[in-house]
Amino acid sequence: MKILGIDTSCDETAASVVANGREVLSNVVASQIEVHQEYGGVVPELASRKHIEAINYIVSRALAEADVTFKDLTAIAVTNRPGLIGALLVGVASAKSLAYCHKLPLLGINHIEGHIYANYMVHDALTFPHICLTVSGGHTLLVEVHEGWQYKVLGSTQDDAAGEVYDKVAKYLGLGFPGGKIIDDLAQTGDPTAIKFPRPMRNSGDYQFSFSGIKTSVRYFVEKARRAGVLVENGQEDAKDTNPDTITVEDIAASFQAAVVDVLTYKSIRAAKSTGAKAITLTGGVAANSQLRSSLKTAGVEIGAEVYYPPMNLCTDNGAMIAGIAYEKYKQGLRDNLSLNAAANGSIMERK
């Protein structure tokens, strides 16, 4: 069974053909990073326009790389929630048109379910139930995943997503966009104990998250350090030798990342211990973060839980994960008609 998966939920136009839910025959992604870099974040209107320009080419290329035609497909799947509404509409309109023209079943897929499924595509040993931490630029979610892709949402962010905060901190420091990899790379040579940034809701007793407080704390710290002339940046690395009170961008990056990773790891491990789950999965764009991977792995060993994360090309937004989970939904008998619409929000507990 071969399914074409399409994802246009944010700023990447993606299409993929996947066989039987796990065999990735093609996985094509058109990035818009260069378009949004000068703004320090994704501009929804620009993202939508770029999706319109790219969608037909990306779908055609995905079919060509998989060496299939529409006659070889069993169904077409598309992300229809959650995400940027204009961006989602481009993918949904494309998928509906293709499904109609080629008389193929249509499935609308929740973007978060795609991320949750990504680990299952590459890890044969993954067991149920397991705890899944989904962390990206738009989402921070802790979910208990059961057989048959049934979910229990344990907690989510109450304000900013972790990935969004990485982008904002990078912007405050003048480092560019997207901020995740930039911060992670700089943190490798910084002191994670140099600044004690807050860990909001770490000890709240539940599985909810909050990251706006960390973001604000970093912003105020950077502004104060600049006014005091003690922030080392723009190639002034030797300034610390003459003034021990100076603080480096690397130290800020490392201290900020330590705070975020501490909260994410603590709550994920606590959830695994509470539910008795013997597996923890990490997914979403921030799953590419080296410290988060390492922290979860180490903490998982301490409680006897195996930690899984997908390869880099399945961490960021992609069509393969959409086609993958669509295979499971198709087997369950789920179908959508041409009235399928996009929604900016949508819980994984809902069927739209």
**Residues 195, 105 within the same domain:** no
Domain holding 247, by residue range, is 126-309
pLDDT at 233: 82
Strand partners, 2: 19
**Residues 97, 183 within the same domain:** no
**Residues 31, 105 within the same domain:** yes
Residue 292 has pLDDT above 70, yes or no: yes
Total domains in the fold of the chain: 2
- In this prediction, residue 38 has a pLDDT band, given cuts at 50, 70 and 90, of confident
**Residues 164, 243 within the same domain:** yes
**Residues 90, 131 within the same domain:** no
**Residues 233, 197 within the same domain:** yes
| 339 domain residue, yes or no | no
Residue 322 has pLDDT above 80, yes or no: yes
**Residues 24, 136 within the same domain:** no
CATH number at residue 44: 3.30.420.40
Answer yes or no: are the C-beta atoms of 96 and 258 closer than 8 Å: no
Residue 299 has pLDDT above 90, yes or no: yes
Report the Cα–Cα distance between both ends of the chain, in Å, rounded.
24
- In this prediction, residue 157 has a pLDDT band, given cuts at 50, 70 and 90, of very high
**Residues 215, 252 within the same domain:** yes
**Cα separation, 5 vs 68, whole angstroms:** 14
* Residues whose CB falls within 8 Å of the CB of residue 168, separated by 6 or more in sequence, listed in order: 41, 160, 179, 215, 219
Answer yes or no: are the C-beta atoms of 169 and 137 closer than 8 Å: no
pLDDT at 349: 67
**Residues 148, 234 within the same domain:** yes
- For the entire predicted model, the pTM comes to 0.93
Residue 65 has pLDDT above 60, yes or no: yes
List pLDDT tens digits, range 161-209.
999 999 999 999 999 999 999 999 999 999 999 999 999 999 999 999 9
Over residues 154-160, mean pLDDT: 95
